[in-house]
């Protein structure tokens, strides 16, 4: 009897803590999403902390509590955007497939383009506003230092397997960046105020455009294959 009471009591005592953790996680996610939605509309520098907290339904202290500072919130926002664009778990899944290196690279590019080219998200709108601006380079660099070490190595390994170039060969980095650059350029055009399709007279679908980009970029990779 006493043992049952103790067990029941310990469970009841622990429940508020679990609830508190869940509530805290939800509050953090709401702050990130609201900051992202507002930043997509007018840029993070023009969004006030008060606006973010009002939209999230929290008090002003919530930003410092969950992120340490406004700058911490901004870096967390950039980190989430990078995860949205290139999810580490999805990248690992592609790398572990029983398929050829070419098929894996193609799958990686498809994944990035599908996420990045969709207009139905605030993440890439923020990316086109914030990441491409040099005045935010310190924060962007801080985030890249966190994510590139792991995800960059996974992606580079795919290109190394295809070309036969060593992981420390500068040519491998050139191959990787030249392959991804057109994807990112189109992403910027789609989510910025630039009507890139009219400027460069692109009249094909996203699927056709991606197919042309991959055909061109694989030709470049093939010139480096050993």
The whole-number pLDDT of residue 126 equals 86
The whole-number pLDDT of residue 133 equals 59
The whole-number pLDDT of residue 196 equals 55
Average pLDDT of the residues of the chain: 83
DSSP string, 50-73: HHHHHHHT--THHHHHHHSSHHHH
- CA–CA gap between residue 136 and residue 38 (Å, rounded): 17
Q: Which of residues 67 and 128 earns the better pLDDT score?
A: 67
Residue 151 has pLDDT above 60, yes or no: yes
Residue indicated by tokens 């924060």: 139
The whole-number pLDDT of residue 20 equals 53
Per-residue pLDDT of 197-213, as tens digits, reads 555 556 788 899 999 99
Residues 34/55, Cβ–Cβ less than 8 Å: yes
| pTM given for the model | 0.74
Residues 41/49, Cβ–Cβ less than 8 Å: no
CATH class belonging to 86-222? mainly alpha
Residues 209/117, Cβ–Cβ less than 8 Å: no
* Token pair belonging to 26: 């939800």
Per-residue pLDDT of 78-127, as tens digits, reads 888 888 888 889 999 999 999 999 999 999 999 999 888 887 788 888 88
Residue 28 has pLDDT above 60, yes or no: yes
């Amino acid at each position: 009897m006493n043992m049952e009471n103790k067990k029941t009591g310990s469970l009841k005592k622990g429940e508020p803590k679990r609830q508190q953790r869940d509530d805290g996680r939800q509050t953090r996610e709401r702050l990130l999403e609201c900051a992202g939605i507002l930043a997509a509309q007018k840029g993070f520098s023009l969004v006030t902390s008060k606006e973010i907290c009002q939209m999230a339904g929290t008090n002003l202290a919530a930003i410092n509590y969950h992120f340490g500072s406004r700058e911490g919130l901004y870096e967390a926002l950039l980190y989430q955007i990078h995860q949205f664009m290139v999810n580490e778990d999805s990248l690992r899944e592609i790398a572990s497939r029983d398929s050829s290196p070419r098929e894996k690279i193609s799958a990686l590019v498809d994944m990035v383009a599908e996420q990045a080219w969709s207009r139905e998200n605030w993440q890439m709108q923020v990316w086109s506003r914030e990441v491409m601006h040099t005045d935010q380079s310190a924060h962007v660099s801080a985030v890249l230092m966190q994510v590139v070490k792991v995800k960059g190595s996974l992606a580079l390994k795919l290109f190394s397997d295809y070309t036969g170039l060593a992981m420390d060969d500068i040519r491998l980095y050139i191959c990787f960046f030249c392959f991804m650059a057109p994807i990112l350029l189109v992403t910027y055009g789609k989510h910025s105020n630039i009507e890139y399709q009219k400027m460069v007279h692109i009249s094909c679908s996203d699927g056709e455009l991606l197919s042309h980009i991959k055909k061109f970029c694989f030709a470049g990779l093939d010139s480096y294959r050993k």
